Amino acid sequence: MKSIMLVEIKKIVLVIICLITFNFSINAQEKNNDEKSITITAEQAQLLQKNEVAVKKWIEDLQKPGVIITDGNQMVFNKEALRLINEPTYRNQVYKDTYTFVDIKESLLKGEYIKAIWKMLIIYPTDKESVLKYIYAFDKAIPSDKLVVNAFYTYAFFDPKITTIENGKPNIYRPDIFEDYLRRTKEIVSYISYFREQEDKTTKN
């Protein structure tokens, strides 16, 4: 299961890389530096521009925390966070007492990458090596530390083991569990930073 899941993550990363690096430019340079123009219709140009905007927004959303606390101590919620607040049935479906790598794979196959990383965050203490390997695999396409922080700020605030929903916002009644999740998040982010440093050293040598 674990080896299969790593293959799935690598496939996802490859797709993300393709989306990031895809260039919608209609101009190309030949080797002799002469410009070669390619004419497309207005409809084609509009479609390409629309797709490019959609891809950029998708990449940005993957890195944006589900809950943002402003300087005025206000909470700003994204679409997923609002769903967890407003749909008790969905909230109960998302959170389980224990997760397995099967649960993670299911989220990955559904394209629910942040949810998958949240589940990895829960499993982390029991299998640190595998979780770090899976999460860091995303770093080839998107900063994986931002994905981890996003997962924490999206799902930790709404875990029934930690919070109740009161007046449309989370009320933390188990700060000890919340702090433990935060500690795991910081630890994983530290490892990601270390892995990057080691890769840089290897590349330079």
- The candidate with the shortest Cα–Cα distance to 2, out of 140, 188, 131, is 131
What is the three-class DSSP state of 203? helix
- For the whole model, what pTM was predicted? 0.75
Summarised one tens digit per residue, pLDDT across range 127-173 is 999 999 989 988 888 888 999 999 999 999 999 999 999 988 899 99
The H helix count followed by the E strand count for the chain is 9, 6
Q: Calculate what percentage of the chain has a pLDDT beyond 70.
A: 69
Summarised one tens digit per residue, pLDDT across range 86-111 is 999 999 999 998 899 889 988 888 88
Q: Please state the rounded mean pLDDT for residues 178-194.
A: 95
Would you say the C-alpha torsion 38, 41, 46, 51 has a positive or negative sign? negative
